[in-house]
């Protein structure tokens, strides 16, 4: 299914590339039958087609010289706080009026940090709406690499609120060339192809023999002024064919007039034109920066090309893209630091004897692919929201009937006080959920015992093997306590493990064994009571082994991690449905036959998306009258 109404938020600060790309995406969505609201926070630009879209213009902001931290208003003054507040008000007002079921933020949170206030206000509104809209981030093929330590991690944490990241590119230039792509980020990335507005194509293909002249374009901001001036100088050196120099509308009229007055007869200087793609298709050589949309225009038109990537400040985006294009033999590069009339003229001369480049390796079907990607993500999101609604309905029905089912939580692989453990414990504290924490006795690190000595919540420590070491023969499933080991060695490790845990945690340590990988030989399991253990916890169904009185087996039945696939969060819709089925099955039993349902987590491998999912789940369960979380001590009581 397609979203009913897509709400796109974009602010272009220098050129118009960001706005042009989102306008193209909006038109593609509109052509697929979706209503689209496009909110623009940058300066108005008449060269971008927005027909068929509901355009909302915020008080415009821009910047100069690549200084994205210094926001300027239309008059060129530093934007005042009250104007930023008005932008936020208008953005939220537009969101409430649109009532979208899909929101796309362009670049944020990877960029636009200076506008974080308005984006965060929008994200808060999205999180509060039921059902929550699908939330996507849209980025181009190349990002500016994080300039400060911790910035990539900060972005990753904020992305946990999102349902996916649309990358408008492909393997021509993978995202990891410019941004750290961790496994958890990789699971959220959807390469949607290069997104180009098909309406920008030339009216007809121009054969190579009919091409002539040199076309210079400096982008949509005044950052291209140096390129235009260097082109004028180069034109003095190459006067055997016509030159056409297009300058940004952001360049002052007086400066444009001065350039026009100094241009020789074979050079035309004028403001950027909407028919730029048609001009590009007819030229012999293109001289331009290396912005996203410019590259796609080049790929569509196919001229010889000289690229002068914008590189002011800490900008690396265009340089990385230009290098990738040049590596394919499609263009020459002139660095901004080396830009003069002479270097530009030399680069153009070097193209003279070469065959026309073949740009066909860069696919331009990103509009269709992006629409298909959004359609698929919307379908998954709808299934997720329906599953949440189903769980809510079950819990409400149980509460009305006075039914209650017990749950307990087990978290494995505790060895040290880590940021991941602290985040998990803080999450449990927010919802007053006690846990049985399976700790690895022979690998406990200093400080862990002290951490739990001061813990107010009723967490208990369980024995998670000895060293969590695989002793299974090659080719067999991993196990630490399988039948392949000597019985005396196993008995000694089991006894030592329980002693280590009790010494470290005192009364918080329970004589409950949690075998690594949830695997234990039946013969080993039968010896546990004699070694001082009062309980066993694995996964799925209970053993029926005739254990002695007082020995309790309480397993886990639900695990949100896709261990055999992505090692990230499983399908939320399936997870929620599985949990609802477990609750319904237990509810159907006589009260005296019900046993606690075990939820299994592994805090060390939780990424932001896992934490966000668990937060949403714990909020429901902890506040549901039909659910009671039991302590591990209560679960394993004889």
The answer to whether the peptide bond before residue 131 is cis (omega within 30 degrees of 0) is yes
pLDDT above 90: residue 637: yes
- Give the DSSP H/E element, type plus range, for residue 428: helix 419-431
Which domains occur in the chain, in start order? 5-195 (3.40.50.2000), 200-355 (3.40.50.2000), 395-635 (3.20.20.370)
User: Tokens 């020459």 map to which residue?
Assistant: 332
CA distance readout (Å), 546 to 228, 529, 554, 595, 613: 86, 12, 14, 18, 38
- Assign residue 164 a region (left: φ > 0; alpha: ψ between -120 and 50; beta: otherwise): left
Q: Residue 314: its pLDDT value, please? A: 74
Q: What is the mean pLDDT of residues 520-548?
A: 87
d(CA 263, CA 339): 19
Structure tokens at 31: 């052509």
Predicted pLDDT at 207: 81
Q: What's the pLDDT tens digit per position in 439-491?
A: 999 999 999 999 999 899 999 999 999 999 999 999 999 999 998 899 999 99
Specify the pLDDT at position 194: 94
pTM of the model: 0.86
Higher local confidence (pLDDT), 32 or 256: 32
pLDDT beyond 60 at 203: no
- Least confident residue range of 20-29, 248-257, 414-423, 566-575: 248-257
Are 239 and 175 in contact by the 8 Å Cβ rule? The answer is no
User: How far apart, in whole angstroms, are the C-alpha atoms of residue 567 and residue 202?
Assistant: 47
Comparing 59-68, 70-79, 97-106, 564-573, the range with the smallest average pLDDT is 59-68
Checking if the pLDDT of 517 tops 60, the result is: yes
Kindly report, residue by residue over 120-132, the tens digit of the pLDDT. Answer: 999 999 999 989 9
Q: Which stretches does DSSP call E strand in 180-318?
A: 189-191, 214-217, 243-247, 267-271, 285-288, 304-307
- pLDDT tens, 571-622? 999 999 999 999 999 999 998 899 999 999 999 999 999 999 999 999 999 9
Over residues 220-235, mean pLDDT: 84
Kindly indicate the confidence band of residue 410, based on its pLDDT and cuts at 50, 70 and 90. Answer: very high
Confidence (pLDDT) at 205: 66
In terms of C-beta density within 10 A (0-12 exposed, 13-18 middle, 19 or more buried), how is residue 383 classed? middle
Instruction: Quote the Cα angle for 126-78-70, to 5°.
Output: 70
CA distances from 259 to 216, 230, 247, 267, 270 (A): 14, 11, 10, 10, 9
Residue 548: which pLDDT band, with cuts at 50, 70 and 90?
confident
| 16: confidence class by pLDDT, cuts 50, 70, 90 | confident
Q: Return the pLDDT at 433.
A: 98
Distances (CA, A) of 397 to 401, 596, 598: 6, 19, 22
Give the tokens for residue 478: 């991993």
Which value, in Å, is the radius of gyration of the alpha carbons in the chain?
A: 31
Q: Contact at 8 Å (CB) between 197 and 170?
A: no
How far apart are the two ends of the chain, measured CA to CA in Å? 52
Percent of the chain past pLDDT 70, that is, above it, reads 97
Average pLDDT over residues 353-366: 86
């Amino acid at each position: 299914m397609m979203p009913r109404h897509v709400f796109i938020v974009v602010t272009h600060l220098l050129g118009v590339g960001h706005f042009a790309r989102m306008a193209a995406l909006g038109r593609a969505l509109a052509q697929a039958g979706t209503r689209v609201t496009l909110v623009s926070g940058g300066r108005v630009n008449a060269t971008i087609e927005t027909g068929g879209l509901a355009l909302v213009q915020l008080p415009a902001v821009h910047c100069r010289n690549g200084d994205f931290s210094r926001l300027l208003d239309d008059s060129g003054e530093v934007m005042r706080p009250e104007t930023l507040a008005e932008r936020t008000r208008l953005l939220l007002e537009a969101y409430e009026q649109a009532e979208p079921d899909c929101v796309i933020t362009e670049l944020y949170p990877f960029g636009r940090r200076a506008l974080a206030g308005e984006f965060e206000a929008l994200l808060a509104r999205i999180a509060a709406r039921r059902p929550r809209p699908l939330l996507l981030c849209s980025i181009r093929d190349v990002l500016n690499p994080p300039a400060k330590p911790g910035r990539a991690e900060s972005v990753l944490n904020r992305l946990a609120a999102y349902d996916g990241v649309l990358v408008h590119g492909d393997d021509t230039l993978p995202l990891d060339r410019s941004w750290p792509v961790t496994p958890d980020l990789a699971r959220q990335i959807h390469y949607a192809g290069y997104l180009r507005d098909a309406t920008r194509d030339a009216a007809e293909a121009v054969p190579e023999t009919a091409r002539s002249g040199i076309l210079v374009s400096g982008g949509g901001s005044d950052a291209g002024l140096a390129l235009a001036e260097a082109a004028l100088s180069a034109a003095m050196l190459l006067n055997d064919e016509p030159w056409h120099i297009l300058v940004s509308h952001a360049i002052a009229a007086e400066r444009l007039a001065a350039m026009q007055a100094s241009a020789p007869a074979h050079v035309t200087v004028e403001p950027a034109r909407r028919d730029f793609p048609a001009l590009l298709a007819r030229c012999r050589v293109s001289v331009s920066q290396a912005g996203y949309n410019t590259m796609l225009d080049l790929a569509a038109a196919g001229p010889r090309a000289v690229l002068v990537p914008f590189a002011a400040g800490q900008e690396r985006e265009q340089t990385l893209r230009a290098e990738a294009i040049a590596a394919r033999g499609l263009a020459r590069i002139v660095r901004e630091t080396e830009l003069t009339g002479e270097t530009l003229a030399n680069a153009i001369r070097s193209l003279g004897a070469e065959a026309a480049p073949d740009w066909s390796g860069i696919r331009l079907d990103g509009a269709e692919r992006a629409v298909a990607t959004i359609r698929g993500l919307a379908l998954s999101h709808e299934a997720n929201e329906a599953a949440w609604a189903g769980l809510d309905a079950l819990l409400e029905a149980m509460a009305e009937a006075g039914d209650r089912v017990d749950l307990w939580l087990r978290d494995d692989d505790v060895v040290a006080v880590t940021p991941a453990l602290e985040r998990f414990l803080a999450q449990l504290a927010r919802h007053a959920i006690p846990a049985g924490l399976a700790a690895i006795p022979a690998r406990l690190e200093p400080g862990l015992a002290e951490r739990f000595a001061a813990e107010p919540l009723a967490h208990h420590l369980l024995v998670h093997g000895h060293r969590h070491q695989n002793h299974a023969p090659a080719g067999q499933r991993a196990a630490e306590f399988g039948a392949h080991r000597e019985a005396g060695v196993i008995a000694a490790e089991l006894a030592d493990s329980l002693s280590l845990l009790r010494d470290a945690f005192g009364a918080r340590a329970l004589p409950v064994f949690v075998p690594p990988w949830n695997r234990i030989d039946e013969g080993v399991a039968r010896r546990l009571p004699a070694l001082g253990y009062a309980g066993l916890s694995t996964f799925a169904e209970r053993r029926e082994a005739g254990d002695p009185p007082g020995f309790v087996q309480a397993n886990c039945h639900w695990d949100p991690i896709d261990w055999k696939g992505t090692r990230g969060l499983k399908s939320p819709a399936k997870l929620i449905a599985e949990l609802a089925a477990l609750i319904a099955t237990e509810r159907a039993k006589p009260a005296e036959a019900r046993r606690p349902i075990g939820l299994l987590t592994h805090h060390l491998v939780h990424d932001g998306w896992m934490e966000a999912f668990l937060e949403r789940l714990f909020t429901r369960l902890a506040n549901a009258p039909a659910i009671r979380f039991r302590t591990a001590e209560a679960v394993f009581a004889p």
